[in-house]
Chain A
Amino acid sequence: MSRAARNLSYAVLCAAGLVLAVTGLGTFALGKPPMTHWVLMAHVAVAPFFAAGLAAVAVSWSGLCRAGVDSPMSCLAQTLFWVVLLCGLIVILSGVLPMTPLFGAPGQHFLYLTHRYSAIVLTAAVLLHLPLLARRK
């Protein structure tokens, strides 16, 4: 996978993630959850771009971040990459599973909380990962 494709996929992930963090975590931090109106629609409209970016990042970066390979990335950056992927998977699944008829009200509430707190961990992991990428060998 070319370096340009890797950087593009990560840029899409970060740009979409920024909008999602502002709309989602911003609403949570300002003390007025849950999201409603235009904020909710903006959040859901950007979500597919985040999911596509996450899948592209998973495919294009995973070869660089596997253990034992001669990678330009540090061990911490490689570990954070897998944390980002795992949290991203939990975030996108917990976001879309409540839209299915599989879960009742308690299950949907559990998924809502899972979505929120895994998104917080994901945001922290990406914020820690970005400076490490800038300093890669």
Chain B
Amino acid sequence: MRGDDKTVSSFFAFTFHFRPLLKILVFAAAFVVLGVLLYYGLRGVGAITAPPSSTGKEGP
């Protein structure tokens, strides 16, 4: 690996054992964040686009 010594290369190879765990954890976190963004985003869109009668306000 680019002229590295054996310690760096072997440790770098060792880290690949944890790569599937990293992917699972990061995708799970992304799923949670995406869920929060969609939940509040859609609620916001719903509040903006709701007809006046459903918000309890009278029209002119």
What is A's interface to B at a CB cutoff of 8 Å?
36-38, 41, 44-45, 47-48, 51-52, 54-55, 58-59, 62, 66-68, 82, 85-86, 88-89, 92-93, 95-96, 99-100
Report Cα–Cα, A51/B12, bound state, in Å: 21
Indicate if the CB atoms of B22 and A48 lie closer than 8 Å: yes
Given A37-B4, A37-B8, A66-B40; A55-B23 close (CB under 8 Å): no
Chain A residue at minimum C-beta to C-beta distance from B31? A55
Report Cα–Cα, A93/B43, bound state, in Å: 24
DSSP class of B's interface residues: helix, strand, loop or mixed? helix
The 5 closest A-B pairs by CB, nearest first: A51-B29, A55-B29, A55-B32, A58-B36, A96-B26
